Amino acid sequence: MFDGDFTRRRMIAVGGGVAAAGLLVQGAAALGQSTGPAATGKPMPDGVDLPANPPATVQPGSVGFAIIGLGDYALKQIMPRFAQSGRAHIAAIVSGNPAKLKQVGDAYGVPESARYSYDSFAQIATNPAVEAVYIILPTGLHAEWAERAFAAGKHVLCEKPMALSGAECERMIAASQRANRKLMIAYRCHFEPYNMAAMALMEDDAVGALRLIRTEHSYRMGPTTPSENWRVSRALAGGGPLEDYGIYGLQAALYLSGEMPESISAATYRPANDPRFAEIFAHVSAQLRFPSGATAHVVTSYDSAGLNMVEARGTEGVLKMQPATNYGGNTLTLEAGRNRQELTPGDSEVQFARQLDHLASAIRDNTPIITPGEMGLRDLRLIEAIYASAASGQTVRLNPDATMRR
Ligand code: NAD
């Protein structure tokens, strides 16, 4: 079992400055768990609707993507949304489960020569139809498979969180630079109309001077164990809910404030004798202080009644989103004095295709990526600072690039 005291002692021994996620993995190693998880085939998830007919012909100039990891998010959210993209199409798939590879490949019209196993992945280098790889694997596999994709000469779209530590993110950025290929993190809310409208309102000082941001991303996870579910495995999920779900609130705190925190204080909780939390935290609560004096309270839990909420309160009003960061059904309310406005800036569904088109444009037109690897690195550094603060019981002061001040 992972021991909070062990973490605290190690943290203090290294001055609280070592990457918390890296440290957590060291903790796992000390406990005899694997530190280098392998990609393996998994069964077809429940409730997947495969297309009855393969997608229509590819638009000229469209970018071919390989999808790696045919799990829940890939099959239910991402692969169906390629049909709404004008500039991206599925050119290849990668899975460790041959039956799933065939079933999904047939449904999406992927040629048999473009269906890869994890073992044959390197052959993708010789497939010119694939220009980008979309990594939708468990987080602990992102760094390794991004490096493999760059080694094969492909651009990379990587699911959030980018990786398990700042060090892994740095490796991925270096691999992208060596290969001279693009690296984008799939932070879909940057392409989602409600979150984009909230960003624009905050930029226009719609709530006056910002004082307080509150975010919560929580749900109650059913019974499970690390061997059954990668989301509760330290080697694949890091500390747990913060990397997986709370990262949306952390992101919102930054894109709504437009600031980087100068200090963080945080607390974590892990109940004893609960197999769900044998390796990860159940709750994480972090307080961020910005140079303007505004603060953000970022909360996430895998063990409380569900909430998906973002609120920004200023001297003149409050902006509320609940749900804030879902696939659909988000809301956005602006209250200032007696005025209450409910905004409906567009269909959230567009976020998925816009995200694909964004990388396609960066590849074709060399346009800048608004969610680059550097943003993923920034967020992992903040996550490390949150864990370092929680482990040491002390406020952690930050440099502008989110590294911890010694
Ligand atoms: P999932 O468990 O449903 O799918 C993961 C897939 O990865 C598996 O089906 C399997 O095909 C493959 N895999 C290879 N090696 C594996 C291993 N050792 N253990 C488990 N699976 C392995 O997970 P998911 O919900 O699809 O999440 C995958 C990624 O997508 C994660 O990075 C997650 O954070 C991200 N995600 C993002 C969003 C979003 O809204 N942006 C939503 C859900 C998930």
Q: Which two tokens stand for residue 41?
A: 């085939």
Residue in this structure with the two tokens 């709750």, named with its chain if needed: 283
Classify residue 293: in a domain, yes or no. Answer: yes
Atom of ligand 1 nearest to the CA of 233: 19
Angle between helices 4-13 and 20-30 (to 10 degrees): 120
Classify residue 24: in a domain, yes or no. Answer: no
Confidence of residue 384 (pLDDT cuts 50, 70, 90): very high
Angle between helices 373-392 and 166-179 (to 10 degrees): 160
| Sheet containing 183-185, strands listed edge to edge, beginning at the edge strand earlier in sequence | 115-116, 88-94, 63-68, 132-135, 155-158, 183-185
| Given 118, 134, 187, 248, the catalytic residue | 248
Alpha carbons 35 and 367: distance in angstroms, whole number? 37
Q: Do 138 and 202 reside in the same domain of the chain? A: no
Lining residues, ligand 1, CB within 6 Å:
37, 39-40, 42, 45, 69-74, 95-96, 136-139, 141, 159-160, 186, 188, 230, 244
Per-residue model confidence as pLDDT tens digits over 192-233: 999 999 999 999 999 999 999 999 999 999 999 999 999 999
Q: Do 59 and 120 reside in the same domain of the chain? A: yes
Q: Do 242 and 167 reside in the same domain of the chain? A: no
User: Helix, strand or coil for residue 274?
Assistant: coil
Q: Do 256 and 142 reside in the same domain of the chain? A: no
Q: Quote the mean pLDDT of the chain.
A: 92
Average pLDDT over residues 97-122: 98
Atom of ligand 1 nearest to the CA of 139: 32
Per-residue model confidence as pLDDT tens digits over 39-79: 999 999 999 999 999 888 899 999 999 999 999 999 999 99
Tell how far the Cα of 287 is from the centroid of ligand 1, in angstroms: 29
Beta carbons within 8 Å of 370's beta carbon, 6+ residues apart: 190, 358
CB 361 within 8 A of CB 367: yes
Our answer to whether residue 320 is catalytic in this structure is no
Classify residue 27: in a domain, yes or no. Answer: no
Atom 12 of ligand 1, nearest CA residue: 69
Q: What single letter denotes the amino acid at residue 362?
A: A
Q: Do 154 and 198 reside in the same domain of the chain? A: no
Q: Residue 393 has what pLDDT?
A: 98
Using only the alpha carbons of the chain, give its radius of gyration: 21
Tell how far the Cα of 326 is from the centroid of ligand 1, in angstroms: 17
Per-residue model confidence as pLDDT tens digits over 255-271: 999 999 999 999 999 99
0.75 exceeded by the pTM? yes
Q: Do 216 and 339 reside in the same domain of the chain? A: yes
Residue in this structure with the two tokens 């690390």, named with its chain if needed: 226
Alpha carbons 181 and 175: distance in angstroms, whole number? 9
* Ligand 1 pocket, mutate which of 76, 103, 159, 233 (most atoms under 8 A from CB): 159
Boundary (domain end) residue, out of 188, 210, 226: 188
Q: Do 389 and 261 reside in the same domain of the chain? A: yes
CB 270 within 8 A of CB 282: yes
| Given 160, 182, 245, 320, the catalytic residue | 160
* Residue 347 CA to its chain's centroid (Å): 21
- The answer, yes or no, to whether residue 324 has pLDDT greater than 90, is yes
CB 294 within 8 A of CB 315: no
Classify residue 166: in a domain, yes or no. Answer: yes
Tell how far the Cα of 102 is from the centroid of ligand 1, in angstroms: 19
* Ligand 1 pocket, mutate which of 68, 70, 73 (most atoms under 8 A from CB): 73
Q: Do 254 and 280 reside in the same domain of the chain? A: yes
Average pLDDT over residues 337-349: 95
Tell how far the Cα of 73 is from the centroid of ligand 1, in angstroms: 6
Please report which residue ranges of 186-315 form alpha helices under DSSP H. 193-203, 234-237, 241, 247-257
Our answer to whether residue 160 is catalytic in this structure is yes
Tell how far the Cα of 230 is from the centroid of ligand 1, in angstroms: 8
* Ligand 1 pocket, mutate which of 33, 34, 42 (most atoms under 8 A from CB): 42
Tell how far the Cα of 133 is from the centroid of ligand 1, in angstroms: 15
Alpha carbons 264 and 398: distance in angstroms, whole number? 8
Query: Can you give the CATH number for the domain in which 145 is found?
Result: 3.40.50.720
CB 275 within 8 A of CB 260: no
Q: What is the domain count for the chain?
A: 2
Alpha carbons 74 and 100: distance in angstroms, whole number? 13
Q: Do 137 and 152 reside in the same domain of the chain? A: yes
Confidence of residue 21 (pLDDT cuts 50, 70, 90): very low
Atom of ligand 1 nearest to the CA of 327: 40
Alpha carbons 361 and 364: distance in angstroms, whole number? 5
Q: Do 216 and 275 reside in the same domain of the chain? A: yes
Q: Do 159 and 207 reside in the same domain of the chain? A: no
Tell how far the Cα of 352 is from the centroid of ligand 1, in angstroms: 16
